[in-house]
Structure 1
Amino acid sequence: MAAKPAASKKVAIPQLNWHQVRPAPVVLISGTEAFLADRALRLLRDGLRTVDPSLEVSDVDAASYAPGELLTLASPSLFAEPRLIRVSNVEKCSDAFLLEMLDYLGSPADDTVVALRHGGGVRGKKLLDAIRAGGGQAIEVVCADLKKDSDRYDFAVAEFKTAGRPITPGALRAIVGAFSDNLAELATACQQLIADSANEITETTVEKYYSGRVETNAFKVADAAIAGRHGEALGLLRHALATGADPVPMVAAFAAKLRTMAKVSGGHGSQGQLASQFGIAPWQVERAQRDLRGWTDEGLGRTIEMLAETDAQVKGAGRDPVYALERMVTAIARKGL
């Protein structure tokens, strides 16, 4: 899955895949796959903190940028801590940000990494062209959508290879097929199999885990909430968080179930026909049909809207990701009513 340049003009800076991200005065993280972009940003932050735990991390929204904000954050501090400035929404950047970032490329601050997240589109093209031409000692991390089955298969292979866990080709095909429509959900499923399967992971393992007999934290919480067991779901959620569960894949586990429920809810036909229509396994259709008992279309719709809000909040839009998760669990346990 080699990275491909995102611009028609000649690119003079290194073009890297998300897992190859490394520090540079300016790191452009481009492409429409938000999950890979988030991973690249976390890898960059964690790598910098490993080198110096005093790393100072700041966040800037390019869409609502205040003039002078970048220079203020990049200015040397009293104790000269290294700095990481994460800039979101560069594809929606204000004119003030565009002008100041172009100027910044000419003289980047010492001991500072400015990570620019551009999700696609023509806004900010002048800045992208300047960066790709070699301005500001930059690198580009390309996070394009993994549209091909082969790309998603390679992604899953890398997840298990990195963890040093054996998995059969059939199991890989099964897990990629089950979570083919969302990369975050695929990654969550891989990590849960890695964490909870002691032996080689086979097709039987995958079917067992994703046919409703899962013993992993995120899916146990989702199962309890969707079934309406509010107290149990909250207890499992708090235990999962207390033992180190990350809120982002926690939301992805709920998304995996609710999106399948939404597909099946609007479909007509036998389990086999629905499985073929939506590109999922028959056992997923059967489980979704069981999960839908007691739900209304309106409740399911409201819950999916809250799921999107919670996803944004746990990724930085909200101040308290735990509260956002608990609120989501409560809404799901009440079936969106």
Structure 2
Amino acid sequence: MAPAPRRSPASKSGAARTASRAVIPQLSWRDPQPAPIVLVSGPEDVCAERAIAGVRDYLRAEDPTLEVSDIRADDYAAGTLLAVTSPSLFGEPRLVRITGGEKMSDAFLTEALAYLDAPQDGATVVLRHSGASVRGKKLLDAIRAGTGGGVEVPCPVIKRDGDRYDFAAGEFKAASKRIAPAALRSLVSAFTGDLTELAAACQQLIADVPGDVTAEVVERYYGGRVETSAFTVADTAISGRLGDALMALRQAMDSGVDPVPLVAAIAMKLRTMARVAGSRESAQALASRLGMKDWQVNNARRDLSGWNQQTLGLAIMAAAQADADVKGASRDAVFALERLITVIATKAPYGTR
């Protein structure tokens, strides 16, 4: 199949919301397009890597003879940018990937600003700037003002559960791989820390599993993860199954789970219940207002069965005490966890039942 014709950057101006300081098109990192200058900005390295690879793949589909060069902006030799962007004898297209923009040298800054005034025909320059510093602000401002005919691919940090869910869902959609909703929720719950780990887990399942990805598959691959163990403990305790919850807790501890993130995961689930409690809005409206997903609201409402304001408050205070205990306030972290699980499962102060 012939590659799609190369589009003008202006044709993608509606791909994402334009930043207030930028007049150039803002593109999605999942659907980047080549331009004389492509600014890949923001701290989320996983998304930035996807964007840069997407530009390369797009250009290579247009012309397999694409020449690819890599430059470090923080370790820059004068004259390099012009040398790698200048046309070769046979006129192959050129892709220049520049990393370390947040630490760029004065020499790079000077030459990059000059390059914007006269970009080379047939060259695509991709500049990665994480935003970790204001270094190179003059260059970024010039690109965003439209000098050089560039586009920007923002890669903001992904922290919220809903955003992580969307990210994982997008990984499977991009690979045309089906994953059951329950499996996707379990997978996201298993990797609440580094997005790189979640991305790697998605790619492993995409590569290894021949058919649809089910909840059983995710449990088989990642059932031992700290976060999955924590949510299993929390779910059984919240449903009032004290014996099952204590057994799940013991299994988690025997497998080497750290008490600190375990308590944090339980506390997060309780806080989600508290945010949802008492609201009569539709799941969609409440999820939108709280920055959550519909399924998270529905799960929290289901968890709230049998709970009231007093018992939920008691559980949240017990979680705060357990958090302090496992961080050093108590000499017995296991006892602190057992006490927390007992309070949650019985909905009563410890020792009263």
TM-score in same-fold range (> 0.5): yes
> Once the 2 structures are TM-superposed, how far is the Cα of residue 211 of structure 1 from its aligned partner?
3.3
The question of 1:67 aligning with 2:78 is answered: yes
Q: Is the 8 A contact 1:5 1:142 kept in 2?
A: no
Question: What residue is the counterpart of 1:25 in the other structure?
Answer: 36
Aligned position for 1:246: none
> Aligned equivalents of 2:194 and 2:124: distance in 1?
30
User: Which residue of the other structure, out of 217, 229, 232, is the alignment partner of 1:205?
Assistant: 217
For 1:191, the aligned partner's letter is Q
Confirm whether residue 160 of structure 1 aligns to residue 160 of structure 2: no
CA distance in structure 1 between the aligned counterparts of 2:78 and 2:193, rounded to whole angstroms? 40
Return 5+ residue gaps in structure 2 as ranges. 1-14, 225-254, 270-353
SS at match of 1:19: coil
Q: What is the CA distance between 1:182 and its match in structure 2?
A: 1.8
Deviation at 1:75, TM superposition (A): 1.6
1:151 aligns with 2:200: no
Q: CA deviation at 1:118?
A: 0.3
Counterpart check, 1:194 vs 2:213: no
How many angstroms does 1:202 deviate by?
A: 2.5
Q: Give the distance between the partners of 1:99 and 1:126, measured in 2 at CA.
A: 10
How many Å separate the matches in 2 of 1:199 and 1:112?
41
Pairwise CA distance, 1:199: 3.9
Per-residue CA deviations over 1:188-212 (Å, capped at 9, x if unaligned) read 2122222333443222221112136
For each residue in 1:276-298, what CA deviation from the matched residue of structure 2 results, as whole angstroms up to 9, or x when unmatched? 4899xxxxxxxxxxxxxxxxxxx
Give the C-alpha shift of residue 126 in structure 1: 0.7
In structure 1, distance between residues paired with 2:158 and 2:16: 11
Q: Is the 8 A contact 2:31 2:54 kept in 1?
A: no
CA distance in 2, matches of 1:3, 1:275: 33
Aligned position for 2:99: 88
Deviation at 1:168, TM superposition (A): 2.1
TM-score, normalised to structure 2's length? 0.59
The number of residue pairs the alignment matches comes to 226
Q: Do 1:33 and 1:145's aligned partners in 2 also have CA atoms closer than 8 Å?
A: yes
Deviation at 1:274, TM superposition (A): 8.1
Show structure 1 runs of 5+ residues with no match. 213-263, 280-337
Aligned-partner Cα distance in 2 for 1:152–1:203 = 18
1:248-269 Cα shifts (integer Å, max 9, x gaps)? xxxxxxxxxxxxxxxx979458
Residues 267, 274 of structure 1: 8 Å contact kept: no
Deviations 1:163-201 (A, max 9, x none): 333222211111011112122221221222223334432
Letter in 2 for 1:153: Y
Partner of 1:126: 138
1:141 is aligned with what amino acid? V
Residues 122-167 of structure 1, C-alpha deviation per residue, up to 9 Å, x if partnerless?
Answer: 1111111100000101000111111111111011111222233322
- The change in CA–CA distance for 1:16 and 1:278 in structure 2 (over 3 A counts) is same
Corresponding residue number in structure 2 for 1:58: 69
For 1:142, the equivalent position in structure 2 comes to: 154
CA RMSD of aligned residues (A): 2.7
Q: Secondary structure at the match of 1:15?
A: coil
Q: Normalization by structure 1: what TM-score?
A: 0.61
Aligned residue identity for 1:182: D
Q: Paired residue for 2:185? A: 173
How far apart in 1 are the matches of 2:89 and 2:114? 24
